[in-house]
Structure 1
Amino acid sequence: MSVDPSSLAVTLGAAVGALVLGVDPQIEVEQAEAVSHTVQQSASRLLEGVSAAIESLPPEAQAPAEQVVTETSERLQNEIEVLLPDGAASHEEEVAESGNGETISAAEQVDVIEPSYSAAVTPMLSAAPSISPFTSTAPTVPIGAVAVFAPWLKKAGAICDGITAPVLAALYSVENSFRYGPTAPVSPAGALGPGQFMPGTWEIYGTDADGDGKADVLGVADPVMASGRLLCDDWDRIEQWKKDGRVVGDTLSLTLAAYNAGAGAVLRSGGMPAGLPDYENQTKPYVAKILAARPAFARMLSPFLALELPTEAHDLGRRVIGEAFRYIGLPYVWGGGNIEGPTGGGFDCSGLTSFALHAAAGIVLPRTSETQWHVGIEVPLDQARAGDLVFGNWQAGGPGHVGIYLGGGLMVHAPTTGDVVRIGEVFPDMRARRIV
């Protein structure tokens, strides 16, 4: 395998950034490879961590690769140290100079939801560790979590100019490491789901974003969209307070602080919440860690943020994709799903395509990938358009897998047991078939 230095630097640098920023290196490597795929077509999927990535290189390339990791580790460590609580007094000094000492009126207390989330379970930003690129004590994130959340992070990141998808992703990594579903941990204070919503706040912001008939605080779509709306509301509120001279500071930092401690804490402090132990030991480090993680998540999300359906994609193809996107994050269940929706708690690959085609166009497909291959007409993969079906994992009886083509070499599919409905790269052996 030939090694392109720029591609290697992107992949390894992103992986080391993940170790520093509390993100599973497996996720970072997988997404970094997607970014560099056009440069290094023959690169294998680096899903076993940085150590496996380096070991897979030719002997003459391993030493330079280790040097890239070392240099990137040192650079990122130096950059992150300035954000640590012991070394960053800027927020405290700012509040001391600008705090107006005003209290919140009864009317403001109704308008300002506080606190939205439990500061008690916010992960603390510890002192910068001595980083080994081959080990990590960072909280693990399920493989593919960013891909599962990406479509909704993109949508929520478009609600207002101040809150972007990378900001939301970094916040979710800090809040609950993207853990969702029935087994997602509940904080001691009762905060729920990947967005760690307190019940009272969820009653206000929780809605059915994905059209599955319920507002699910433990899901993917509903919490992400709720977080986007809450953050944008706080952003607008803080911008107005700044214009009124009631608070000072960076609007994004104050908005993130409001997500953790409540907007009322920002207003009472005249800026970044300060003074109380919870503010000093949790809110400030919480904000710093999200801001530090934002660039890494911008890299990881870049393939998904750039994903747009081709302009020639017809409306029916868009609808097929839209129906499948409703269930991004739903577990893979062998034999799961039909034209009515998920069964047994999820979909398998052909169950997802059966549902999406029926929901979008009223088309009833045969149940398996092998039989679905015989519907419609085959088209060259390089001529596939959004909404076409793509088939792979060829066996004696036909294709063992099917997904829905998105364009740009990507598909939405239900991959395998233990995984979830997600966006992924088209397999090398795939062939396309036009149904709609």
Structure 2
Amino acid sequence: MSVDPSSLVVTLGAAVGALVLGVAPQVEVEQAAAVSHTVQERAGRLLEGVSAAIDSLPPGAQASAEQVVTETSERLQAEIEALLPEDAVSPDEGVGESGVGETGSDAKQVGTIEPTYSTAVTPMLPPAPSISPFTSTAPDVPIGAVAVFAPWLKKAGTICDGITAPVLAALYSVENGFRYGPEAPVSPAGALGPGQFMPGTWEIYGKDADGDGKADVFGIADPVMASGRLLCDDWNLIEQWKKDGRVVGDTLSLTLAAYNAGRGAVLRSGGMPSGLPDYEIETKPYVGKILAARPAFERMLSPFMALEIPAQASDLGQQVIEQAFRYLGLPYVWGGGNIQGPTGGGFDCSGLTSFALHAAAGIVLPRTSETQWHVGIEVPLDQAHAGDLVFGNWQTGGPGHVGIYLGEGLMVHAPTTGDVVRIGEVFPDMRARRIV
């Protein structure tokens, strides 16, 4: 049976409205969690049906239909979350573990921790928004987490043709949920950082990629580039083994299996590792998860692929950007945000810059865009560095808007009521000031 895309969207909109409007707007605190759970259950059943309907559309209509229903589902998610008291919305706690890998000289190169978000992990990334619920294979990873890693995923994805940025992103979502920093969890097998490197493997592949003078397994740049090099080495080796008739199978699948179980496991099995329980319960599902998540990350990373890693960016400038990226997708709230983070559920433009500068460099800015304009020194916009502030919407009292410059004519900012923290083009009237 064919499905008309416009009818599908109208039907979904009506259903979402019924779901949301059917809930009393004034919900007692003690009832909020139960009501939200009920709405989510009903929404889940609806979304399953819509996903099947989208799959039945002609290929040319699926993308546009999915985009519209995704936007609708995000509105539903916002309505659901609004039912919960602020202190009842918290990330999942606990860390799941899968398998311990091989032993001996071909020991598991990296450990795998299922991605959850624990309050013990810093930096903490907001739990929403995540990938569309209509993508059944998409991991529950905040867009802000991916954005922080995106420039380095892009760079590492150019080392060889076989390993792309979406592959690396999918791998990192499965390995450790993009969690980084000195308090990021270590696997029971001793695997470290967002790339889950065993110490011996890190000694070989860990390099200083961002020029800060150290190879930091708990950082972002160094592990991502190390993963790119390791995967490309394995890719080339497996391609040669296939030519020699020593292994058979899809090269990418075998490369991912080697990252998890070791190259020796691939060679001994003549292809996908098999014969041991760890291979069956860990390695094969691990490869399947990454391959299934790759299309979702292709869509997720597309807005960031135009961004370069500016050569002139200072370490502090990059940290300012990373702090702002943590909250991509968070709603604009007039007067929202301060040095501690979002308030009232979001940020306004100067609240975002206040938070990012303080979180990255300990700098306390005045609260408004007009007063922030008087901090630091003005630089020509064509000489602005990543992490500089850019000001626009000039009025009698000064600038009415402020954002954080990314390079390539782009900024991250909290635009206006009804919008969210996002990446956008620098306004034509903008001027730049260097704070860090």
TM range (shorter): 0.5 to 0.7
SS of the residue corresponding to residue 215 of structure 1 reads coil
Q: What value does the CA root-mean-square deviation take over the aligned residues?
A: 4.8
Q: 1:302 to 1:138 in 2, by over 3 A?
A: closer
The secondary structure found in structure 2 opposite 1:271 is coil
Q: CA deviation at 1:428?
A: 7.5
Alignment of 1:375 with 2:378, yes or no, is yes
Query: 2:160 — aligned with what?
Result: 160
How far does residue 372 in structure 1 lie from its aligned partner after superposition?
4.8
Alignment CA distance shift 1:407-1:288 (3 Å):
same
Q: Which runs of 5+ in 1 are unaligned?
A: 21-34, 56-108, 125-131, 310-317, 336-341, 352-367, 416-421
Question: Which amino acid letter does the alignment assign opposite residue 215 of structure 1?
Answer: A
Q: Please show how residues 4-403 of structure 1 align to structure 2 within 5 Å.
A: 49=74, 51-52=76-77, 114-118=107-111, 121=113, 133=133, 141-307=141-307, 319-321=311-313, 326-327=318-319, 331=323, 346-347=360-361, 369-372=372-375, 375-376=378-379, 387=385, 390-391=390-391, 401-403=402-404
Is the contact between residue 174 and residue 290 of structure 2 (CA under 8 Å) also seen in structure 1? yes
Distance in 1 (alpha carbons) for counterparts of 2:161 and 2:205: 19
Q: Matches of 1:423 and 1:207 in 2, distance apart?
A: 31
Which residue of structure 2 lines up, in the alignment, with residue 364 of structure 1? none
Task: Supply the distance in 2 between the matched residues of 1:330 and 1:304 (Cα, whole angstroms).
Answer: 13
Distance verdict in 2 for CA 1:291–1:155, change over 3 Å: same
Alpha carbons 1:156, 1:228 under 8 Å: kept = yes
Contact 1:170 1:294 in 2 (8 A): yes
Partner of 1:360: none
Deviation per CA, 1:16-64: give whole Å up to 9, x if none: 9xx99xxxxxxxxxxxxxx99xxx9xx9x97994524689xxxxxxxxx
Unaligned runs of 5+ in 2: 14-43, 49-62, 81-103, 117-131, 325-337, 341-355, 366-370, 416-420
- What is the number of equivalent residue pairs in this alignment? 298
Q: In the TM superposition, what is the alpha-carbon distance from 1:307 to its structure 2 partner?
A: 3.7
**Residues of 1 paired with 2:234 and 2:414: CA distance?**
36
Q: Which amino acid aligns with 2:76?
A: S
Q: Distance in 2 between matches of 1:238 and 1:209?
A: 26
Q: Tell me if structure 1 keeps the 8 A contact 2:137–2:293.
A: no
Higher relative contact order (CA 8 A, sep 6+): 1
Q: Is the CA contact (8 Å cut-off) linking 2:413 and 2:424 kept in structure 1?
A: no
Give, in whole Å, the separation in 2 of the partners of 1:254 and 1:328.
38
CA distance in 1, matches of 2:362, 2:71: 25
In 2, distance between residues paired with 1:397 and 1:241?
65
Cα distance change on mapping 1:267 and 1:405 into 2, 3 Å: closer
Percentage identity across paired residues of the two chains:
62
Q: Given the two structures, how large is their TM-score scaled by the length of structure 1?
A: 0.55
Query: How far, CA to CA, are the matches of 2:138 and 2:303 in structure 1?
Result: 24
Asked if the contact 1:390/1:404 (under 8 Å) is kept, the reply is yes
Q: Look up the equivalent residue of 1:175 and give its one-letter code.
A: E
Q: 2:72 and 2:110 mapped to 1: Cα distance?
A: 33
Cα deviations across residues 378-399 of structure 1 (Å, max 9, x unaligned)? x7xxxx7874852269896756
Q: 1:236 to 1:248 in 2, by over 3 A?
A: same
TM-score (norm 2): 0.55
How far apart are 1:370 and its partner, in Å?
1.8
Task: Supply the distance in 2 between the matched residues of 1:287 and 1:325 (Cα, whole angstroms).
Answer: 36
Q: Cα–Cα, structure 1 residues 173 and 398, in superposed 2: closer, same or farther, change >3 Å?
A: same
CA-CA distance at 1:143 after TM superposition: 5.0
**Equivalent-residue separation in structure 1 for 2:115 and 2:375 (angstroms):** 47
